[in-house]
Chain A
Amino acid sequence: MKKISPFSQKMWAIDGFIATGIFLIVAVVLNIFLNYNALWKYILTGSTYGVSIIVLIYSLLMPKYKYEKFRYDIDEEKITLKYGVFTEINVIIPMTRVQYVDTEQGIIIRKYNLINLQVHTAGGSYSIPFLEKEVGSKLQLSITKTVQEKNI
Chain B
Amino acid sequence: MRELKHPHRFIIFSEIFLFLKNSIFPFILFLISIGSKIPKKYGGNYTEIFIVIAFLIIIITLAILRWKNNVYAIEEEGIYLKYGVFEVHERTLPFSQVHSADISSSVVQRLFNVYKLEIDTLGGDKKSEVSIFLSKGEALNIKEIIFKGNKMEDKAEIIEEENIRKFTCSLKDLFMMATMSTSILAGFFIIAAFYSKIDDILPEEFKRKVDMSINDLMKDVNGAQIIKYIAILIFSMLFMSWIISVIITVIKYYKFSVIREEDNIKLSYGFFDKKEVTIPVKRIQSLTIVEGVIKKSFGYFSLNVETVGYGKDKGESTMICPIAKRKVLNKFFEDIIPEMNITYDLMKSPKRALIGFLLLNLLSYIIIMILIAIFAPYGYYVFLLVPIIVFWQYKRFVDNGMYNGEDLVVMRYRNISRETVIVQRECVQSMEKMQNIFQKRKAISNYKVSIAGEILGKSYKVRYMDENYIKLLSEYYK
Interface residues of A (CB under 8 A from B): 77-78, 80, 84, 86-94, 97-107, 110, 120-124, 126, 137, 140-141, 143-145, 147-148, 150-152
Does B451 make an interface contact (CB < 8 A)?
Answer: yes
A141 touches B91 (CB 8 A): no
Does B247 make an interface contact (CB < 8 A)?
Answer: no
B434 touches A144 (CB 8 A): no
A92 touches B477 (CB 8 A): yes
B97 touches A99 (CB 8 A): yes
Given A107-B86, A122-B452, A124-B457: A98 and B97 within 8 A (CB)? Answer: yes
A147 to B440, CA, bound (A): 34
Given A87-B435, A88-B440, A141-B77: A97 and B92 within 8 A (CB)? Answer: no
How many B residues, CB 8 Å from partner? Answer: 49
Closest B residue by C-beta to A84: B434
A144: B residues at CB distance < 8 A: 77-78, 92-94
A122 to B96, CA, bound (A): 14
CB distance from A92 to the nearest CB of B (A): 5
A90 touches B429 (CB 8 A): no
A148 to B122, CA, bound (A): 15
A104 touches B434 (CB 8 A): no
B87: A residues at CB distance < 8 A: 104-107
A102 touches B457 (CB 8 A): no
Does B151 make an interface contact (CB < 8 A)?
Answer: yes
Does B196 make an interface contact (CB < 8 A)?
Answer: no
Does B478 make an interface contact (CB < 8 A)?
Answer: yes
Closest B residue by C-beta to A121: B429
A92 touches B431 (CB 8 A): yes
Within 8 A of A (CB), among B108-146: 121-124, 129
B430 touches A147 (CB 8 A): no
CB distance from B233 to the nearest CB of A (A): 43
A77 to B477, CA, bound (A): 6
Closest A residue by C-beta to B473: A92
Does B90 make an interface contact (CB < 8 A)?
Answer: yes
B92 touches A122 (CB 8 A): no
27 contacts between A and B (CB under 8 A): A86-B437, A87-B436, A88-B433, A89-B434, A91-B433, A92-B431, A92-B473, A94-B430, A97-B428, A99-B124, A101-B92, A102-B89, A102-B90, A105-B89, A107-B87, A122-B122, A122-B308, A123-B123, A123-B430, A123-B457, A123-B458, A124-B430, A124-B456, A124-B457, A144-B77, A144-B78, A151-B96
Within 8 A of A (CB), among B272-320: 308
Does B450 make an interface contact (CB < 8 A)?
Answer: yes
B89 touches A93 (CB 8 A): no
A144 to B95, CA, bound (A): 9
Does B453 make an interface contact (CB < 8 A)?
Answer: yes
- Which of B92, B151, B470, B474 is within 8 Å of A140, CB to CB? B92
B430 touches A90 (CB 8 A): no
- The 8 A CB mask of B46-85 against A (1 = contact, 0 = none) is 0000000000000000000000000000001110000010
A77: B residues at CB distance < 8 A: 477-478
B430 touches A91 (CB 8 A): yes
A126: B residues at CB distance < 8 A: 430
- Which of B96, B124, B470 is within 8 Å of A148, CB to CB? B96
Which 8 interchain pairs have the tightest Cβ spacing? A123-B457, A122-B452, A123-B429, A151-B96, A122-B123, A124-B457, A123-B450, A100-B93
